[in-house]
Amino acid sequence: MTEPAATADAVRRAGSTPSLASASHALRAQFFVMGLIFATWGVHVPIVKAHYGLGEQALALAMLASGVGALTALAYAGRIVGRWGPRAVATVMGCVNCAAIACLEASPHYVSLLVVMLMFGAFGSLFDVSLSAEASEIERRSGKPLMSGFHGMFSLGGMAGASLGSAVPMLGLTPQAHLLLATASSAVIILVASRLMLPVPDQHDAEEKHPLSLPRGPLLLLGVLAAMGLIAEGAIYDWSVLFMKQERASDASMAALGYAAFSAAMAAGRFGGDWVRARMAPRRLLRASGVLAATGMALVLAVPSAAVGLVGFALVGLGLSNVVPMLFSAASQVPGISPAHGIAAVSGVGYLGMMAGPPLIGLIAEHSSLTSGLIVVIVFAVFMALSAKRALRG
């Protein structure tokens, strides 16, 4: 069966054909929700630490449990999304992921936190893969680049989630009430938006013929750079609020604004990413991105001011905003490798970085300080800048 016929057959099986515009809006809403869920976890890191009485190492292990869950799910993600389609997977996994975060502080036992984080990683990664598959299909049908805008909605969701977390003390909400409010509203958006997603052709057979393999050659360097970018990004998601509270003695509202500043700047950078990439050579843009992110993180760590910290987090977000879209684009153009395989290989290594980075920083913080742990962000940003000439063409 040809590709157009397969697509038409999938549409007939689905029973309805959402317009491309409707599907694009629905996917933007889904990316927004994914960012909001991540931000809700990030805002609650200090609360979780106090609730369970944890040190940095125990907290890092809980984050590692999320990584283990993600890795386990990613081993089957292609088959699951290929078999059931992005629409069904996004609906189920998105809602179950919301339920997992709602239970974040429901028990006083550390083991229950490990279980919740394991579920959060597993269901969140499947939700992520299903949205990426939908985004690829929308790009293919529209014939124009849209990925940066979709990822911008993730950052916008992160900003909204962090802002809501900042307002919680002023609203008089308990942490558990905030979790329930954020996750219940997110689940409703997921259920509504999923109905407007495109029915993607069955790719189960293709997944069986082309299993995921470790990247080599040019893809390996692109994957390592993606991992470094996502480690830096994950570090801010998971540790910025705690850093502002512990290292800068900020109150809960100011601490949450550090996360919000990072997410807002990243959203702005991604919404303008396609415009910038059309006017700036990839090597030059990656080099500038790395320098900007390193400079911002250095400001955060070197200047003992909460206000300067907000500016620094914003610079980090702006610097990192287009790193992953750039590397994905380069992966799709590697000679002798199909675009889908190239992007899958690089995104897989990158996702590992996002999951492994925060626990690594936590272990460093346990034996030194959180400031020392976050120096990793500077090191990786500098490495990205220095590797731009070798990694990218043009």
Tell me how far CA of residue 337 lies from CA of 189, 225, 318, 333, 387, in angstroms: 37, 18, 30, 8, 21
Average confidence score pLDDT of the chain: 83
Q: How far apart are CA 212 and CA 207, in angstroms?
A: 8
Sign of CA dihedral 221, 223, 229, 235: negative
Q: Which residues contact residue 185 at a Cβ distance below 8 angstroms, ignoring those fewer than 6 apart?
A: none
Other Cβ atoms within 10 Å of 128 Cβ, number: 25
Q: DSSP letter at 321?
A: T
Burial label for 4, CB within 10 Å (0-12, 13-18, 19+), is exposed
Among 71-85, 91-105, 253-267, 295-309, name the one with the lowest average pLDDT.
Answer: 71-85
Give the model's pLDDT for residue 219.
83
Most confidently modeled of 12-21, 74-83, 85-94, 255-264? 85-94
Confidence of residue 5 (pLDDT cuts 50, 70, 90): very low
**pTM exceeds 0.85, yes or no:** no
Rounded to an integer, the average pLDDT of 340-361 is: 71
Task: Check pLDDT > 90 for residue 203.
Answer: no
Domain boundaries 212-394, corresponding CATH code: 1.20.1250.20
Most confidently modeled of 120-134, 148-162, 314-328, 329-343? 314-328
Q: Do domains 18-209 and 212-394 have the same CATH topology?
A: yes
- The tens digit of pLDDT for each residue in 332-344 reads 677 777 555 666 6
In the chain, where the domains are located: 18-209, 212-394
Give the model's pLDDT for residue 214.
56
Most confidently modeled of 4-13, 30-39, 70-79? 30-39
More confident residue, 145 or 350: 350
Q: Which residues contact residue 278 at a Cβ distance below 8 angstroms, ignoring those fewer than 6 apart?
A: none
Give the model's pLDDT for residue 332.
67
Task: Check pLDDT > 70 for residue 373.
Answer: yes
Fold of 18-209: Growth Hormone; Chain: A; (1.20.1250)
Give the model's pLDDT for residue 43.
84
Other Cβ atoms within 10 Å of 368 Cβ, number: 12
User: Residue 143: which region, alpha, beta or left (left: phi > 0; alpha: psi -120 to 50)?
Assistant: left
Task: Check pLDDT > 50 for residue 123.
Answer: yes
Q: Which residues contact residue 380 at a Cβ distance below 8 angstroms, ignoring those fewer than 6 apart?
A: 228, 229, 231, 232
